[in-house]
Amino acid sequence: DTEVTQTPKHLVMGMTNKKSLKCEQHMGHRAMYWYKQKAKKPPELMFVYSYEKLSINESVPSRFSPECPNSSLLNLHLHALQPEDSALYLCASSQDPAGAQNTEAFFGQGTRLTVV
């Protein structure tokens, strides 16, 4: 099973709403990631969790709040977003956070977020 599952697949939210994106993997991977991808652009790293601890925050605005409740789950809490935050949000996982062994990252299908 090399699947990373993201829900919901599509989300439309107002600028005053609070919503959450969810990501789940059952591959025993110990690193999980959030990426943001704008149309016709490459994915950009937002956050990295390593062994359930936040290890990298790429200067993401505080209206995005990540959470890793356990080794299989990763959430992204959204609050007071702006229209320019509309994008495809991709979750990924990899086996070894230090990258010493298998370094391949597997991506979920993404959540297409529209902020109105």
List residues near other proteins by CB under 8 A.
31, 33, 40-45, 48-50, 55-56, 90, 92, 94, 96-99, 103-110, 112
Residue number, 17 or 107, with CB nearest to other proteins:
107
Three-class DSSP category at 116 = coil
Q: What's the closest the beta carbon of residue 31 comes to other proteins, in angstroms?
A: 6
Cα separations (Å) of 58 from 28, 45, 61, 75, 105?
25, 7, 9, 16, 18
Residue 42 or 83 having the CB closest to other proteins: 42
* Shortest CB 23 distance to other proteins, Å: 12
- The pairing of strands 18-25 and 73-79 is antiparallel
Both tokens assigned to 51: 């062994």
Indicate the residue among 14 and 99 with the shorter CB distance to other proteins: 99
Give 19 or 30: the residue with its C-beta nearer to other proteins.
30
CB of 45 to other proteins, least distance (A): 6
How many other C-beta atoms are found inside a 10 Å radius of the C-beta of residue 4?
Answer: 24
Minimum distance, C-beta of residue 70 to other proteins, in the bound complex (Å):
17
